[in-house]
Amino acid sequence: DSGVTQTPKHLITATGQRVTLRCSPRSGDLSVYWYQQSLDQGLQFLIQYYNGEERAKGNILERFSAQQFPDLHSELNLSSLELGDSALYFCASSVEGGGSTDAQYFGPGTRLTVL
């Protein structure tokens, strides 16, 4: 158990809908990262937050957004969902992040299925 928690574990929804994925980092970690894992793209970095502020952006679609709250938990919002958004979404956390090479610890993931 990495100490990173994610909810829900599974999510099934329809095209055009909007969903919210939630992540709680390990105790003491200030950075949260979101990754998408799919068969064709592999593990891809989406976005990083550090202590409530956006730190880095990767291959994140404009339909997707994220935020980190004062208690350091993070939410990833996916809107106008398409079939191709079906994937595993992982959250990871580290003590710091950006400018340092802290180890990242991953949560168990949320499996999103868009029908």
Nearest alpha carbon to residue 55 among 107, 102, 10: 102
Cis previous bond, 8, omega within 30:
yes
For other proteins, the binding residue among 36, 48, 68, 74 (CB under 8 A) is 48
Phi first, then psi, for residue 89 (nearest 5°) are -115, 120
Site for other proteins in 55-74 (CB under 8 A): 55-56, 58
Of the two residues 15 and 41, which places its CB atom closer to other proteins in the complex?
41
Q: Binding residues for other proteins, per CB under 8 A?
A: 2, 4, 33, 35, 42-45, 48, 55-56, 58, 90, 92, 97-109
